[in-house]
Amino acid sequence: MGDWIAFWDSEHSIYVNARHRDVHYRTIAQDIGARLPSGAAVLDYGCGEALHADLIAASARALILCEAAPTVRAALAARFAGQSKIKVCSPEEVAALPAGSLDVVVLHSVAQYLTPQELDALLVLFRRLLSENGILILGDVVPPDVSALTDAVALIRFGTANGFLGAALIGLLRTLVSDYWRLRFDLGLSRYGEAAMLAKLAGAGFSARRAAANIGHNQARMTFIARRA
């Protein structure tokens, strides 16, 4: 995953402008928040810039933001320094947390950048960290039949609905010559059908179901809700 971490830690063009970045993270935070039990201890693993993590923290007892990219992690720590509910951690710090210390773990738009073996290892970690009645929310899983064209159409629709269509069209052209497409071509994305992901979760000791809607704007992708079996 090192190449992907380096990409997300760089100045990239995935977000076509500030409006896109803002509504992207706001939509994710709102969708996650709607799925949380009140007063939960929550881990958002691989959270990215998490611009609106305060919306998640509002109903949580505590929120841990875990990000592997060091520059992004430092920016998170600075942004939420005054929020007592929010703590920013590295993956190594999360791995050292006590067993059963979390009520909810969120892994959103991360599984596609992990090898199957890396995802298996994380699922084992999450099962250890979750309390007996804890919940794992696994979002933005990419099915085998979802293409880059499908993702582009979803972005265009998102841009149309949120006032950045022109920037989205220009951004798609710019992204075609970016490091993102080079990495996506060279490394690929890990993809899972619904049955395959349910089986993977079961193998890690979870009982899971596919949610009715995906977290975020791209409804061609999938979200799963899992509990310790």
Could you report the per-residue pLDDT of 208-221, keeping only the tens digit for each?
999 999 999 999 99
- Taking only the tens place, the pLDDT of each residue in 29-70 is 999 999 999 999 999 999 999 999 999 999 999 999 999 999
Higher pLDDT, residue 185 or 204: 204
Domains of the chain: 2-228 (3.40.50.150)
Instruction: Decide: helix, strand or coil at residue 208.
Output: strand
Beta-bridge mates of residue 105: 43, 136
Mean residue pLDDT of the chain comes to 93
> How many other CB atoms sit within 10 Å of the CB of residue 3?
12
Dihedral sign computed on CA atoms, order 30, 32, 36, 38: negative
Q: Is 132 helix (H, G, I), strand (E, B) or coil?
A: strand
CA 8 vs. chain centroid, Å, equals: 13
- Max CA pair span of the chain: 48
Over residues 143-172, the mean pLDDT reads 90
C-beta atoms surrounding 116 within 10 Å: 12
Bridge partners, 207 (sequence order): 227
Give dist(CA 157, CA 165) in Å, integer: 8
Nearest to 151 by CA among 176, 134, 126: 176
Please write the tens of the pLDDT for every residue from 75-124: 999 999 989 999 999 999 999 999 999 999 999 999 999 999 999 999 99
Q: What's the CA gap between 132 and 199, in Å, rounded?
A: 20
Containing H/E element for 104? strand 102-108
Strand order in the sheet with 86-89: 86-89, 62-66, 41-45, 102-108, 130-141, 222-228, 206-210
Residues facing residue 141 across a β-bridge: 222
